[in-house]
Amino acid sequence: MFKKIVIFGVGLIGGSVSLALKKLPHPPHITGVGRSDHSLQEALGLGLIDTAETNIANALTDADLVLIAAPVAQTPAILRTIQPHLSANTIITDAGSTKSDVMSYAKAELGSQFNQFVGGHPIAGAEKSGPSAAMADLYIGKNVILTPDAATDADAVKRVAALWQACGAVVSNMSPQAHDRVFAAVSHLPHLLAFALVEDLAKRDNAELLFKFAASGFRDFTRIAGSHPEMWRDIALANKQALLEELNTYQQAVSEMTVLLENNDDAGLFALFEHASRARNEWAKSKTNKT
């Protein structure tokens, strides 16, 4: 296990890694680096980190792992600031929701030390953010995807996998491109649709009335529209191409449903609802406790 971990961005995701590792018999020393002093002090106060650092050279002294858990557009700037202070033994990893962009940033910013970078993505989270949202059990039984490159050091991949396993996660590998296509469909598209629906209702003249009577179906469909705007702006722009394809496919599905409705096609609507309902229920049963 790592002895000193430096976490850039001690919010929901970074803070939850920290809390999970603190349950180990020999937890690592965890140093937090943040963008705002306020959230770093909050992380310190909540016991998520052992030390808060603003000096990057000090933060990285004797560090054997750097975990980047900030919004994905912050990744190049963070890599640029750490690069001069990395030793040959420091492993760098991240938790960003998109992987093609992050892997390209790592290649560009780390140069000959790119082999020490292991891209990662925990498929676990929430619509809540910040240090106070961190949970020790967030990753138990959840998937974590690693996206090693052909150049990535095999031992670094093993050690990052072991880190997530120590947090209770189930680790698999994917290419960054395959990862981004899958998560455009099952995560990024649903978040955009939830934001779009809430925004459409919120800007109507009778929004107050609509929200007053909205119930649990609306709550379930839109929970993720309460998610962090900066994080989702960065994800949408980073995975723009795959997301535009998913939006296009979804628009076709909505158009097909519109035609069924316009034509009073009761059999067509029933068949569509029955097929989707079965697929959704089978998926939910197969997942039990997983994200």
Ligand X SMILES: NC(=O)C1=CN([C@@H]2O[C@H](COP(=O)(O)OP(=O)(O)OC[C@H]3O[C@@H](n4cnc5c(N)ncnc54)[C@H](O)[C@@H]3O)[C@@H](O)[C@H]2O)C=CC1
Burial 183-197 (b: 16+ CB within 10 A, else e): bbbebbbebbbbbee
CA–CA gap between residue 39 and residue 44 (Å, rounded)? 9
Least Cβ distance, residue 253 to ligand ENO (angstroms)? 20
The one-letter amino acid code at 271 reads: A
Is 60 or 231 the residue whose CB approaches ligand ENO more closely? Answer: 231
CA–CA gap between residue 72 and residue 94 (Å, rounded)? 9
Is 41 or 260 the residue whose CB approaches ligand X more closely? Answer: 41
Which residues are CB-contacts of 99 (< 8 A; sequence separation ≥ 6)? 119, 121, 145, 147, 174, 176, 179, 180
CA–CA gap between residue 254 and residue 250 (Å, rounded)? 6
Is 25 or 84 the residue whose CB approaches ligand X more closely? Answer: 84
The β-bridge partners of 122 are 144
Least Cβ distance, residue 197 to ligand X (angstroms)? 19
| Binding partner of residue 184 among ligand ENO, ligand X, none, CB cut-off 5 to 8 Å per kind | none
Residue 233 CB neighbour total at 10 angstroms: 13
Question: Which residues between 223 and 262 bind ligand ENO (CB under 6 A)?
Answer: 224
Is residue 137 involved in binding ligand ENO (CB under 6 A)? no
| Binding partner of residue 187 among ligand X, ligand ENO, none, CB cut-off 5 to 8 Å per kind | ligand ENO
Footprint on this chain of ligand X (rule: CB under 6 A): 8-14, 33-36, 39, 69-72, 74, 77-78, 95-97, 121-122, 125-126, 129-130, 228, 231, 235
Task: Work out which of 15, 125, 131, 176 binds ligand ENO, going by CB under 6 A.
Answer: 125
Is 56 or 214 the residue whose CB approaches ligand X more closely? Answer: 56
Least Cβ distance, residue 143 to ligand X (angstroms)? 11
Q: Report yes or no: 32 and 10 within 8 Å, Cβ to Cβ.
A: yes
Q: Which residues bind ligand ENO (CB under 6 A)?
A: 97, 123, 125-127, 187, 224
